[in-house]
Each structure stands twice: as C-alpha cells, then as structure tokens.
Amino acid sequence: MDILRFLTAGSVDDGKSTLIGRLLYDSKSIMVDQLEAIERSTKNKEEGRVDLALLTDGLRAEREQGITIDVAYKYFSTPKRKFIIADTPGHIQYTRNMVTGASNSDLAIILIDARHGVVEQTRRHSIIVSLLNLPHVVVAINKMDLVDFSQDKYNDIVIDYSQVAASLGLKNVTYIPISALNGDNIVEKSTAMPWYEGGSLLNVLETVEVHEDINLTEGRFPVQYVIRPQTEELPDYRGYAGKIISGIYRKGDKVVVQPAGIESTISAVEVGGQEVEEAFAPQSAVLHLADDIDVSRGDVIVKQDAPVQVAQEFEVVLCWMSNTPLVPRNKYMLQINSRNVRCVVKELEYKLNVNTLEKELSPVSAGLNDVVKATIKTASPIAFDTYKNLRANGGAILIDETSLVTVGACMITTEPQEKPFWPEI
Amino acid sequence: MGSYKLDYLDQLESEAIHIFREVAGQFERPALLFSGGKDSIVLVHLALKAFRPGKFPFPLVHIDTGHNFQEALDFRDALAEKIGEKLIVRNVEDTIKTRGLTEQKGKLPSRNGLQTYTLLDTIEEFEFDACIGGARRDEEKARAKERIFSVRDEFGSWDPKRQRPELWNIYNGKINKGENVRVFPISNWTELDIWNYIRREKIELPSIYFAHEREVLEFDGRLVATNEFITLHDDDVVSRKVVRYRTVGDMTCTAAVESNASTLDDIINEIIATNTSERGQTRIDDRVSEAAMEDRKKNGYF
C-alpha cells in the first residue's frame, strides 16, 4: 500500500465539491456524525438527496464571504492506497492556491462540464498543471447525465482537450466520462455508458503508477541538521541528518558536498537510528562521511556520478503570490530545500497569460497570481536542478525580507550547460 | 530492499522526520507539546528516530489542566524518564489563580479554553519560537486547512486568511519578534494511520486506551468517567461498564466508548468498523457550535 497525492481542479459549477464528496462517501470515509451534520444543513434545500458538496464545506469565515480561501486537505483510503486530496478553489484569483496544491501532487484531476466542453478555465488549470510538471493528468468529463450519456459529446471533448494537452506537453492523460452526482464511473463502472471501455475514476486512481516518478538515479541529499551527541560513549559521532530527495545512497559511494564542491565518501548510512546497507528516496536518513570536512545545514550531499548545477544566477518561471507587487531589482530571500540565501530578482523577461499562453514582453512588475519568467541572482551559490528534470531540487520559494511571508514560487528553468569537449593532446 | 518502494507508513514517517529536522534547523527555542495522548506519544517516537543518538533539540512541554487522567500523567513521567529528555509542566490551576480567571460552570466544566492562557504564558516564559503539536488534518475541518508550519501572532491567533502558501517540501519558518510557529508533523496522518503505526512500531500507550472497567455517567448519549470535577445529581444514570478511550483529553470533556478491545488488533478492527468520527464520538467540546475549533484556534488554541 502506498500514497497517491492528487489535486482537483475545477469550480463548484463543474461539480468539484460533489466529486470529492462522492469519493469520500462511496469509499466510506464519511462518518455518521459528519453525515448528520450535512443532513441538517441540507434540510432546507431540495428534497431528498444529501448534498455531497457540503462535505467539503469550509470555515465559517469562508461561508460568511461565500468564498473558498484556501487549500483544504482531505483523506481517504482503500485497501490498495491511501489518498491525499488537495482541494483547491478554481477561480482565476486563486492561481496561487492551485500552484500550492499542485506542488505536492502526483496527479491532477481536471474537471470539465460535459455541457460546456473545454473552456478558458480548463486551459488555465492545464497550464498550471504543466508549469508544475505533474506527472499524471485525469480529465474527468462530468455531468454526463445532462448530455444523455452521449458518446459523441464525450469524443468531441476528448479531441478538443488532446490539442490542449499536446500544446502543453502534458504526460499520461486519461479521460473518464462521469456523473459525480449519481456516482457514474466514480467507484463502479457505469451501466449508462457501456461504450466507455476504461476503468472507473477510483480504479484509475488506485492503479496509476507513481513509484516510477521518483528519481532513483541522481542522488541529492540536502542536509537539514547535524547530529553531534558529544557524549562520553559517542565523542566523535557526527551524522548529517536529512531526507534523500532523489537517488540511492550506499556506504562507499563517492559524493560531492555542494555548493562548496568538496569530495568525500559515504562511510555509513543510518535510517531510524539503525545502520543500513543503503537508503533511497524519499527516505529520511543520516549520512556519515569518511573525511572530516565542514558540512552544515543548507549543503547538498550529491552523488558524484550525477552532477548538480551550481550557480549564482539562473532563470525561473515564477508565480507571484503576494498583494504587494514584484518589482525588478527588489531583494528577497530564496529558499530551496534547506538552503536559504538572499537574492535579487533581476529583469522580468515576460509575463505569461495563463488563459492564452500569450507572452507580454518586459513587464514593469508582477501582481498577485501573475506568472513571469525572470532571472534571479543569489548572494552565494546554490546547488539546483532544472525543475522539469528533477522537481525535488528545482523548486524554490521567495520570502519577503521584512514581512517574512512567502511571496513567490520559482520553477528553475536553467539547463545544465554542455561541458566543452577538449581533445586530449 | 531491491524494489526501492516505501510503504505508506514509511512515507508518512519520513515526511514527519523531515518536518522535525526542519524545526531543529530553523528555530532557536522549539518545544514539543506533549499531552500524554496517543498522537503526542507517536510524536516522541518520531523525534527519537529523527535525532538519536543525539538529544532532542527541544524539551517536552505539558500544559496540565488539572483534569487529566492519572494514568496519562503517570505515563508521561515514565516516558520522559525512560528516554532521558527534559519535561516542563505548567499548570492551568496556577494560571487561574495568578490571573484571576473564571472557571466554566455546569455539569462538565471544561478547562479547554483556559489552557490557552497557560500555553501562551509558557511560550512567553521560555521564549519558545516553535511549538510542535500532534494535530491531524483529518480530525476537523478547521484543521484541514491549517499549514504544517502555522504562524501565530503574539496572541497565538490563527488567521486562516493570512496563511503562507506552503510549497513542495519547503517550510518557511521565518518569523518576526513576538510571533511563533505551531508545527504539525503528523498533519497528513489519519486516526487509522496512527493506530497502524503504533502497532507496527510496538509503541506503548497508557492503559486507558484499552478496555477496562470504569464507573461512568451517561450524559447526552456519551459515557463520561465519574470524577471529582463532575457534579452528580440524583437523577443521573451512573453504572460500571467496560470501556476504552479513543482519544485522551480532559476527564470532563472526553467521553469513553463501550468496548472490549484489549489489544491493538482489536482496536484497529473496531476503528475500521466504526461509523462515527473520532472527535464526534469522544469530544464534548466540539459540539458546542459548528465552528468551535475554528474559534478556539483564532484565540490561540492548538
């Protein structure tokens, strides 16, 4: 049994809350007392049916203003998997929430109303999914009951969306015709759509292969904390505590501590306080090095056979998340895994329209929910990877130096430069 | 090994250890809030995995309402002794006296609201900049929206509208003077995950989690252990029943469930079969209003 983290993109009108409610309800994750609370709220509405959308109903602060503030996390499990849903509001002003939810997800469910097909919002959600490089996409074509379960309607939408997916380079796209309200193709295959040959939504979520998304070839170990007991029994113990974000580490492996570039060898690997032969992503571990060198929080212990990029200047796609606009030349703190350095955002190359993919060149500033391409210069070098190649070491956040709030999400786009080939003389 | 696949409990464990070490790396004076309940016992177990053979980079802190089960208090002291870590206890009773606070009246007087005062005083006394707690997002809908690193102002208030976006596995623990952070390493665990982990890791728990005979009062459909803090009337229905606790909080606001489950296997089977949520079945304080937890969090509660 493993974990699948997924994001649902769509608005209330697309039936997103109903879909989540349906998944929770049909997987028996809703308890009687929670259902009773919903039934109380439903009483004054339409007769009969429990409003499953209310299961995802939020805080009083939200109800009072009739909005969804934020990402809510929901949990359910089946004998095959534990599921973590990042439920994010879908309206345009909430790009920042969708980016947040997508950053931790393996899969996105993009909801399309069968009556309306691919609309502007569908494109916006898909662009964000593509920017965050989610490895799997499920396109759930909802409200099939309102189009008489029409195969033609479904096929038209699949053709339309395939063009969107191709233009964005989306990977592993699966299409499912559903009715969240009635439960068609949610847990069980629907008898109303015998022409559909794929599995139900839950079946797809249970079987999508996410283990292969973990990079086990390029070793990256950001050091979080140094364990030094300095006791009589362990006077010289010095363990580097962190989480392996990619790759496999074994005793005897050659490593480079970046960004300083100091070479050493792994002398021991520990997991949960026990020495082990090897440890792999995404395990938390303690590494020991053969050489007495200076290693501290913020350094990355990199496997020598898979070099990382080390630089002070690089390009990013940046989603701005603050009401205070981003102005070029402003200084911020940049945090990538455990490393925190001061930085300056240099020129903004372009602003991306997330509905049309059009680029506005050389914008003077970026506001809340804007997506821009920018160059960042840091006060000291950082060790990073291209986000598209290694998500775990290519994403960074920007922190305002005075409010200390997280104001931006950066996806590094700089590719490693080809090493010039010097013929041996 | 060989397949390089992690079980879901290993994934949750690794995530929690990562969060613990971020606290150690980012803060000067953190604390682990320890209640003696199963979730905070799991936190201690995870902290051992995160920091041994080193010492914890934080003390255990217990805000004692004075209404705790003796079994939980004994367990707390024994655990701190066994692992050799520092335990700080601060009493709500003292805060009530020094600050002249008014206690709740009624049949089941809860000190749940008052313990926030002691917690905030304790944070100030030791200048804690981060408090690690065992809250889970599956417990309640206000918790479902809270960050893993949750920044609170000097009143401890949670403002759902001003939360920092939390991206990838990057936690922003930067705070201004007067602010502090509540950190929830087991945010993504469910009740069942906790019990399965306790079984797998053979973690010891206070005896009240297992079936035992106890004198209980039937109140509003719940079973409340009779104790010195509850006022009994002649028409109250009191009887001896075989019960266990699904959560452990104050004696006045935690209800027992009738159960013969005497082993972890029994408990897990019961939880799989149950149709009532953990807080719904056992927490009397959540029923007060639909937004009870949201309101308490805004006032500095965990």
**Domain residues of chain B, as ranges?**
8-193+291-298, 205-286
Write down the pLDDT at residue A63: 60
Let me know whether A147 and A45 are in one domain: yes
Q: Which stretch of A195-199, B38-42, B142-146 has the lowest confidence by average pLDDT?
A: B142-146
- pLDDT exceeds cutoff 70 at B193: yes
Q: Model confidence over A373-413: pLDDT tens digits?
A: 999 999 999 999 999 999 999 999 999 999 999 999 999 99
Q: Which stretch of A209-218, A222-231, A413-422, B150-159 has the lowest confidence by average pLDDT?
A: A413-422
Let me know whether A207 and A275 are in one domain: no
CATH number at residue A348: 2.40.30.10
In Å, how far is A96's CA from the nearest CA of chain B? 8
Residue A11 domain-assigned (yes or no): yes
Closest to A397 (Cα-Cα) out of B37, B171, B73, B149 = B171
Single out the residue in A161, A195, A212 at which a domain terminates.
A212
In this prediction, residues B66-74 reach a mean pLDDT of 88
Q: Which of residues 69-98 of B touch A (CB under 8 A)?
A: none
Single out the residue in A303, A336, A361 at which a domain terminates.
A303
In Å, how far is A411's CA from the nearest CA of chain B? 11
The per-residue pLDDT of chain A, averaged, comes to 89
Write down the pLDDT at residue A274: 92
How many domains does one find in chain A?
3
Q: Decide if B167 and A397 are in contact by the 8 Å CB cutoff.
A: yes
Let me know whether A103 and A32 are in one domain: yes
Residues of chain A contacting B22 with CB distance shorter than 8 Å: 224, 338
What pLDDT band is residue A244 in, cutting at 50, 70 and 90? very high
Write down the pLDDT at residue B1: 46
Let me know whether A236 and A258 are in one domain: yes
Let me know whether A238 and A185 are in one domain: no
Residue A422 domain-assigned (yes or no): no
In this prediction, residues B112-137 reach a mean pLDDT of 91
Residue A330 domain-assigned (yes or no): yes
In Å, how far is A423's CA from the nearest CA of chain B? 40
Instruction: Choose from B167, B176, B181 for mutation: most chain A CBs within 10 A.
Output: B167
Residue A425 domain-assigned (yes or no): no
Cβ of residue B51 closer than 8 Å to a chain A Cβ: yes
Q: Decide if A3 and B11 are in contact by the 8 Å CB cutoff.
A: yes
Let me know whether A45 and A185 are in one domain: yes
In Å, how far is A89's CA from the nearest CA of chain B? 12
Instruction: Determine how β-strand A395-400 pairs with β-strand A406-412.
Output: antiparallel
Residue A177 domain-assigned (yes or no): yes
Q: Which stretch of A77-81, A143-147, B82-86 has the lowest confidence by average pLDDT?
A: A77-81
What pLDDT band is residue A66 in, cutting at 50, 70 and 90? low
In Å, how far is B97's CA from the nearest CA of chain A? 34
For A229, which of B21, B53, B187 is closest by C-beta distance? B53
For B165, which of A2, A59, A96 is closest by C-beta distance? A96
Whole-number CA gyration radius for chain B: 19
Cβ of residue B204 closer than 8 Å to a chain A Cβ: no
Residues in a beta bridge with A269:
A276, A287
Residues 6 or more apart in contact with residue A411 via CB below 8 angstroms: A131, A132, A133, A316, A317, A318, A387, A388, A394, A395
Q: Quote the CA–CA distance of A18 and A36 in Å, as a whole number.
A: 17
Let me know whether A295 and A383 are in one domain: no
The per-residue pLDDT of chain B, averaged, comes to 87
Measured from the Cβ of residue B98, the count of other Cβ atoms closer than 10 Å reads: 10
Let me know whether A284 and A344 are in one domain: no
- pLDDT exceeds cutoff 70 at B290: no
Name the residue with higher pLDDT: A93 or B95.
B95
Single out the residue in A284, A303, A322 at which a domain terminates.
A303
Write down the pLDDT at residue A421: 55
Let me know whether A39 and A149 are in one domain: yes
Q: Range of A33's domain?
A: 2-212
Task: For residue B73, give the H/E element and its range.
Answer: helix B70-83
**Percentage of chain A lying above the pLDDT 70 cut:** 87
Cβ of residue B49 closer than 8 Å to a chain A Cβ: yes
Question: Could you tell me the fold of the domain covering B8-193+291-298?
Answer: Rossmann fold (3.40.50)
Q: Model confidence over A2-40: pLDDT tens digits?
A: 999 999 987 667 788 888 888 888 877 776 666 666 666
Residues of chain B contacting A59 with CB distance shorter than 8 Å: 141-142, 145, 160, 291, 294
Let me know whether A151 and A93 are in one domain: yes
Q: ipTM of this model? A: 0.92
Contact B206, B160 (CB under 8 A): no
Q: Decide if B169 and A241 are in contact by the 8 Å CB cutoff.
A: no
Let me know whether A198 and A82 are in one domain: yes
Residue A75 domain-assigned (yes or no): yes
Q: Decide if A297 and B55 are in contact by the 8 Å CB cutoff.
A: no
Let me know whether A298 and A314 are in one domain: no
Closest to A372 (Cα-Cα) out of A382, A384, A383, A362 = A362
Instruction: Choose from A7, A75, A134, A384 for mutation: most chain B CBs within 10 A.
Output: A75
Residue A423 domain-assigned (yes or no): no
Write down the pLDDT at residue B35: 86
Cβ of residue B174 closer than 8 Å to a chain A Cβ: yes
Q: Decide if A283 and B14 are in contact by the 8 Å CB cutoff.
A: yes
